[in-house]
Structure 1
Amino acid sequence: MSEGSPGGAGKMRRKGDLPQKICAACGLPFAWRKKWARDWDEVKYCSDRCRRA
């Protein structure tokens, strides 16, 4: 059963092993989330608040 994690391996990953990006608005790092699985390459902001800023 696939968990939708990056890499498609279908196994659980530790939070520290998830890919990270830097938010374009606040400059803080944020980690991959399952809801971003389809469009991780397009994600630029850590939250809706930063996206609106």
Structure 2
Amino acid sequence: MRRKADLPEKPCRHCGRPMVWRKAWARTWDEVLYCSDRCRTEAKHLRAGSVRGTTSSP
């Protein structure tokens, strides 16, 4: 059996926290980008805001 220290790890794309491999992510580990739903949602809102070009004029 593997120890937790031996499991693969990578940083969350939004907050930078380390994510440790989980059995639920076994098939999609290469596609996992965010550590939580909150990070995924916040990143989505940031991308949407920059795409819309929300600039305020003085």
| TM-score normalised over the length of structure 1 | 0.74
1:46 equivalent in structure 2: 35
Q: What pairs with 1:1-53 in structure 2 (closer than 5 Å)?
A: 12-53=1-42
Structure with greater Cα Rg: 2
Larger helix proportion of the pair: 2
The number of residue pairs the alignment matches comes to 42
Structure 2 gap segments, 5+ residues each: 43-58
| TM-score normalised over the length of structure 2 | 0.68
SS at match of 2:30: helix
Which stretches of structure 1, 4 residues or longer, exceed 4 Å deviation after superposition? none
Ranked by relative contact order (alpha carbons within 8 Å, sequence separation 6 or more), the top structure is 1
In structure 2, C-alpha distance between the alignment counterparts of 1:13 and 1:47, rounded to whole Å: 24
C-alpha root-mean-square deviation of aligned residues, in Å?
A: 0.6
